């Protein structure tokens, strides 16, 4: 009768987290659409400066910043929190408590991000990268996250399992890391405690760690959960995942200062940043190796499983973007590509090709289990996947090539600056087209999600697959 008990427990766990998780996940999709629109406007403005040029709130400096903050704190953070709140009860087998408080945190989070984006558009941005929201908004977000972390740690404390699964290490660490990072950086920078170069160093300590110690761990937790679950096989080496976790914890912390290579900051700090960036090759290799070895013999499942397809794409992007990042930190490489569109391409491969694709995989896995419905259309999923994959590939390749060209031209003082600008324009146009593809993908995704949560999708039966009748033996389905 263990099965019945399990089913009852499962219903209890899902019931405890359903409302807050759905609220976070749906809000995130709305912010993804908002962020995509702002991104497209900003991208077009960079090669067509007269586009929407008559109002201050539409100017590039504000559009770009509103885009970054709506996707970082609206889409990415809310999706990450939603996934975290779903994974924690599954992994601890303890129902979440404080559901109403969590729902309140989700609503407040939406209100705060909306207020922050309006603040940026109306000229109240702080112009500190990744920390543009004014201090009161940042403090509000900290409180919301504290509620989330409190609920997560409470469930961890009441856990009904002997083992803390690798995904849960990452999630637990995030519940410590993010508050420390966000609070220290906001109070230090906006609270008037730091100025000048010391403030710039704190800025990049935060801005790099919000990627490495917040979104990356949640994405890796998703990878280590969804991948084995979909293919029905444990991860290849559990030892290795342990090594990878601690190596990430130790080295990612110190990588951020490579953003100031060549800048007016103490040489020691930049050197440490470069060393730590290279050391990141260790945790990244462990993840890439583990993913590949776990997948081995199961690659044919990529043809049928939506979750697996997004998650594996994301895992591969993680390996590529991290290796790229390590070498990008080196002084010789930085001399060319720092200050260019190359960095923007790198950032999007990380936040989109890796993180966002991983979250999409999480959505495709989680939503059927929370809504009791199946994804309404395999075609919509296909449109989503291919537009996303194609879009981010074009985006990355265009800005990588364009950025290298831009960097090399900038190093040649014989080339007038305006010629450098002209050389980047075709690449920036290609980026706008890529952005359009990504937006189409997001619309397809949003339609699917809306049908799921509005009860328009078929009730739970067999999963919606991208291809039927495909098994390793080629047998009939």
* CA dihedral sign of residues 263, 268, 269, 270: positive
User: In degrees rounded to 5, what are phi and psi of residue 373?
Assistant: -130, 160
Identify the residue among 79, 84, 91, 438 touching another protein (CB under 8 A): 91
For another protein, which residue of 143, 331, 379, 456 counts as binding (CB under 8 A)? 331
Q: Is 118 near another protein (CB under 8 A)?
A: no
Of 28, 88, 231, 367, the residue at the interface with another protein (CB under 8 A) is 231
Query: Please, which residue, 113 or 175, has the CB nearer to another protein?
Result: 175
Check if the beta carbon of residue 261 is closer than 8 Å to that of residue 334.
yes
**Residues that contact another protein, how many (by CB under 8 A):** 137
Residues 151-190 that bind another protein (CB under 8 A): 156-157, 161-165, 167, 169, 172-173, 176-177, 180-181, 184, 188-189
Q: How far is the CB of 52 from another protein (least distance, A)?
A: 9
- State the nearest-atom distance from the C-beta of 82 to another protein, in Å: 18
Residue 122, CA atoms < 13 Å, CB-side half-sphere: 7
Contact residue for another protein among 16, 202, 448, 451 (CB under 8 A): 202
314 binds another protein (CB under 8 A): no
The phi and psi torsions of 51 (rounded to 5 degrees) equal -65, 120
Instruction: Count Cβ atoms below 10 Å from residue 196 Cβ, excluding itself.
Output: 8
Work out how close the CB of 217 gets to another protein at its nearest, in angstroms, rounded to a whole number.
9
Radius of gyration for the alpha carbons in the chain, expressed in angstroms and rounded: 22
Q: Tell me how far, at minimum, the Cβ of 114 lies from another protein, in Å.
A: 19
* Rounded alpha-carbon distances, angstroms, from residue 398 to 41, 130, 317: 18, 24, 16
Among positions 272, 319, 404, 453, the unique one binding another protein when judged by CB under 8 A:
272
Does 313 engage in binding with another protein (CB under 8 A)? no
Contact 366, 21 (CB under 8 A): yes
Q: How far is the CB of 216 from another protein (least distance, A)?
A: 13
Q: Does 317 contact another protein by CB under 8 A? A: no
The span of 7-15, 25-33, 78-86, 99-107 binding another protein (CB under 8 A) equals 7-15
Least distance in angstroms from the C-beta of 55 to another protein: 6
C-beta of 173: minimal distance to another protein in Å? Answer: 4
By beta-carbon proximity to another protein, the closer residue of 304 and 448 is 304
Q: Is the distance from CB of 183 to CB of 223 less than 8 angstroms?
A: no
Closest alpha carbon to 334 in 230, 272, 404: 404
Q: Is 459 helix (H, G, I), strand (E, B) or coil?
A: strand
373 bridge partner residues? 459
Q: How far is the CB of 215 from another protein (least distance, A)?
A: 15
Min separation Cβ 108 and another protein, Å? 25
Q: What is the rounded CA–CA span in Å between residue 48 and residue 41?
A: 10
CB of 281 to another protein, least distance (A): 13
- Give 458's DSSP letter: P
- Binders of another protein among residues 449 to 468 (CB under 8 A) are 462-463, 465, 467-468
Tokens of 178: 């993010």
Cα within 13 Å of Cα(100), Cβ side: 0
Closer of 106 and 168 to another protein (Cβ): 168
Does residue 256 bind another protein (CB under 8 A)? yes
Among 19, 142, 339, 443, binds another protein (CB under 8 A): 339
Binding letters toward another protein, positions 32-71, x by CB under 8 A:
-------------xxx-xx--xxxx--xxxx-xx------
CA distance 102 to 23: 9
Q: How far is the CB of 111 from another protein (least distance, A)?
A: 22
Q: At what angle do helices 306-328 and 281-295 cross, to 10 degrees?
A: 150
Using CB under 8 A as the binding rule, whether residue 145 contacts another protein is answered as no
Part of the chain binding another protein (CB under 8 A), chosen from 96-104, 221-229, 434-442, 444-452: 221-229
Task: Give the residue, chosen from 365, 395, 396, 427, that forms a contact with another protein under the rule CB under 8 A.
Answer: 365
Over the range 416-442, which residues count as b (16 or more CB within 10 Å of their CB) and which as e? eeeebeeebeebbbbbbebbbbbbbbb
In angstroms, the CA 464 to CA 355 distance is: 23
Helix (H, G, I), strand (E, B) or coil at 373: strand
Q: Does 149 bind another protein (CB under 8 A)?
A: no
Structure tokens at 318: 């993680």
15 binds another protein (CB under 8 A): no
Q: Which of residues 370-409 bind another protein (CB under 8 A)?
A: none
Binding to another protein by residue 197, rule CB under 8 A? yes
Q: Which of 110, 216, 340, 356 binds another protein (CB under 8 A)?
A: 340
Residues 6+ apart with CB under 8 A from 293: 236, 237
How far apart CA 391 and CA 381 sit, in angstroms, is 15
Q: Which of 37, 271, 285, 377 binds another protein (CB under 8 A)?
A: 271
């Amino acid at each position: 009768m263990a099965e019945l008990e399990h089913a009852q427990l499962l219903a209890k766990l899902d019931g405890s987290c359903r409302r807050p998780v759905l609220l976070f996940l749906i809000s995130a999709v709305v912010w993804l659409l908002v962020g995509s629109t702002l991104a497209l406007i900003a991208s077009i403005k960079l090669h067509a400066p007269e586009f929407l040029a008559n109002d201050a709130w539409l100017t590039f400096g504000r559009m770009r910043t509103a885009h970054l903050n709506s996707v970082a704190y609206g889409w990415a953070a809310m999706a990450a929190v939603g996934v975290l709140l779903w994974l924690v009860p599954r992994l601890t087998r303890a129902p979440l408590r404080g559901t109403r408080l969590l729902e309140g945190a989700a609503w407040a989070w939406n209100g705060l991000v909306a207020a922050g984006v309006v603040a940026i558009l109306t000229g109240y941005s702080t112009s500190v990268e990744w920390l543009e929201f004014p201090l009161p908004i940042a403090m509000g977000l900290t409180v919301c996250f504290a509620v989330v972390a409190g609920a997560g740690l409470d469930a961890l404390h009441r856990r009904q399992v002997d083992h803390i699964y690798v995904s849960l290490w990452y999630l637990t660490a995030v519940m410590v890391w993010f508050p420390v990072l966000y609070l220290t950086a906001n109070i230090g920078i906006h609270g008037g405690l730091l100025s000048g170069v010391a403030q710039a160093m704190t800025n990049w300590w935060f801005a790099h760690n919000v990627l490495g110690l917040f979104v990356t761990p949640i994405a890796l937790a998703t990878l280590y959960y969804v991948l084995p679950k979909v293919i029905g096989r444990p991860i290849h080496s559990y030892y290795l995942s342990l090594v990878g976790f601690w190596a990430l914890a130790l080295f990612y912390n110190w990588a951020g200062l490579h953003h100031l290579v060549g800048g007016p900051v103490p040489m020691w700090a930049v050197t440490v940043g470069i060393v730590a960036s290279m050391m990141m090759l260790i945790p990244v290799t462990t993840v890439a190796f583990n993913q590949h070895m776990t997948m081995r013999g199961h690659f044919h499942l990529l043809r049928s499983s939506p979750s697996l397809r997004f998650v594996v794409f994301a895992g591969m992007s993680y390996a590529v973007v991290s290796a790229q990042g390590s070498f990008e930190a080196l002084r010789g490489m930085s001399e060319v590509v720092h200050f260019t569109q190359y960095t923007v391409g790198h950032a999007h491969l990380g936040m989109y090709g890796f993180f966002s694709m991983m979250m999409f995989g999480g959505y495709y896995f989680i939503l059927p289990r929370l809504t009791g419905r199946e994804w309404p259309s395999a075609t919509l999923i296909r449109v989503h996947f291919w537009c996303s994959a194609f879009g981010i590939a074009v985006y990355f390749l265009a800005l990588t090539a364009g950025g290298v060209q831009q960097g090399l031209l900038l190093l040649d003082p014989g080339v007038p600056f305006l010629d450098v600008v002209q050389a980047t324009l075709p690449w920036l146009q290609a980026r706008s087209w890529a952005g359009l593809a990504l937006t189409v993908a997001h619309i397809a995704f949003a339609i699917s999600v809306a049908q799921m949560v509005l009860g328009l999708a078929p009730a739970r039966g067999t999963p919606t697959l991208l291809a039927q009748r495909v098994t390793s033996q080629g047998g009939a389905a």
